[in-house]
Structure 1
Amino acid sequence: MSTNKVIHAIYNDDDILMDAVKASRAAHHHIEEIYTPFPVHGLDKAMGLAPTRIAIASFLYGVVGLTVAANLLNYMMIVDWPQDIGGKPSFAFYQNMPAFVPILFELTVFFAAHLMVITFYLRSRLWPFKEAENPDVRTTDDHFLMEVAVNGNEEDMISFFKNTGAVEVKVIDKH
């Protein structure tokens, strides 16, 4: 069984973390993961992560919701059991469209929101009853942890991260 060494550099300020990420990327250190207690604006770009396609997924989920809503309303109100409600004719979907707009909107938002949450959990691999993968409990409160693969002289990397403003630097054997 092979072991990989990683460095856990712990920071207590998000601005210092951002500067450290930029310095680490400039020094060509491979950042494995960053653990933060809250979202840090611009961290994804500083890490060099690819842009997200979440907006495209959200739009497609909204289209699915609109399609399901339109077909559901057409079937229920026109095909299956047409009713004369408020003197509106039940001969065609387009004739009742103004009355259907709120339901179409609500089901579009419903599908987009719920499918986005499901997509988030699947992409994040957050299954029910999953054990936490957080390496340091302080990152859920007020500290930031940058996990960097050791790829060279360990002592030089430790001094590099201490110079970037890390309050604590540890070398960990990852199995």
Structure 2
Amino acid sequence: MASKVIQAFYTDDDVLMDAVKKVRKEHHHIEEVFTPFPVHGLDKAMGLPHTRLAITAFMYGCLGLTVAITMMNFIMIEDWPQNIGGKPSFSFIENMPSFVPVMFELTVFFSAHLMVITFYMRSRIWPFKEAENPDVRTTDDHFLMEVSATSENVDELIGMLAETGATEIKVKDKQGDNH
């Protein structure tokens, strides 16, 4: 039982959305959908789980806040206390109002930068990585849906995808996991 991938091309995002819904309704596995721009609701139509990137952003923000508090307490209170404008330098709590901007900035800095790094690692995007786009037209004006198929149901899937409004359909042998 050889695995195949059927690539169906579409020229309209609404037609693509209807096709994705029909393919999912028929319980076929959609490998990937390539679009030239974000299509609202496509992730829900494909049945993709919600991202947990917001949770990591919160954790990274907490890490940034902890680093900011620890750093300012060590630098301004313990290591080299200075009398700046008559403010006491023997307690972090008494100096905290002047530390708030630094705490905010480091919270945002850690959250943003570590979230981007996490996104790249999770998406397996790193420098010098080969593009996985199967057709360059998907960066211009075409939409591409890749559907898994076995040798037995290829003809059935081709017929169904043609009914959904696909302008072009290709059948390719499935290569190893691209991810």
Per-residue CA shift, 1:14-60, capped at 9, x if unaligned?
A: 11111111000011111011111222221111111111111111100
Q: 1:56 maps to which residue? A: 55
Tell me the distance in 2 between the aligned counterparts of 1:118 and 1:83: 37
Q: Give the 3-state SS of the residue equivalent to 1:120 in structure 2.
A: helix
Q: 1:158 maps to which residue? A: 158
Mapping 1:129-148, distance limit 5 Å: 129-148=128-147
Output the amino acid matched with 1:80: D
Per-residue CA shift, 1:104-125, capped at 9, x if unaligned?
A: 0000000000000000100010
Q: 1:167 maps to which residue? A: 167
Tell me the distance in 2 between the aligned counterparts of 1:144 and 1:87: 65
Q: 2:82 maps to which residue? A: 83
Tell me the distance in 1 between the aligned counterparts of 2:85 and 2:132: 58
Moved more, 4-13 or 60-69: 4-13
Tell me the distance in 2 between the aligned counterparts of 1:156 and 1:10: 17
Could you tell me how far 1:3 is from its partner in structure 2?
5.2
Mapping 1:31-50, distance limit 5 Å: 31-50=30-49
Any gaps of 5 or more consecutive residues in structure 2? none
Tell me the distance in 1 between the aligned counterparts of 2:125 and 2:167: 30
Structure 2 vs 1, CA of residues 173 and 31 (structure 1 numbering), >3 Å: closer, same or farther?
same
Tell me the distance in 1 between the aligned counterparts of 2:76 and 2:153: 72
Q: Kindly indicate whether the alpha-carbon contact (under 8 Å) linking 2:53 and 2:119 is maintained by their aligned counterparts in 1.
A: no
Output the amino acid matched with 1:173: D
Q: 1:92 maps to which residue? A: 91
Q: 2:122 maps to which residue? A: 123
Count of residues paired in the alignment: 174
Output the amino acid matched with 2:169: V
TM-score w.r.t. length of structure 2: 0.93
Tell me the distance in 2 between the aligned counterparts of 1:93 and 1:4: 64
Tell me the distance in 2 between the aligned counterparts of 1:109 and 1:13: 39
Tell me the distance in 1 between the aligned counterparts of 2:2 and 2:142: 26
Tell me the distance in 1 between the aligned counterparts of 2:32 and 2:78: 54
Tell me the distance in 1 between the aligned counterparts of 2:89 and 2:153: 77
Q: 1:29 maps to which residue? A: 28
Could you tell me how far 1:156 is from its partner in structure 2?
2.2
Q: Give the 3-state SS of the residue equivalent to 1:150 in structure 2.
A: strand
Output the amino acid matched with 2:48: L
C-alpha RMSD over aligned residues: 1.3
Output the amino acid matched with 1:36: T
Q: 2:8 maps to which residue? A: 9
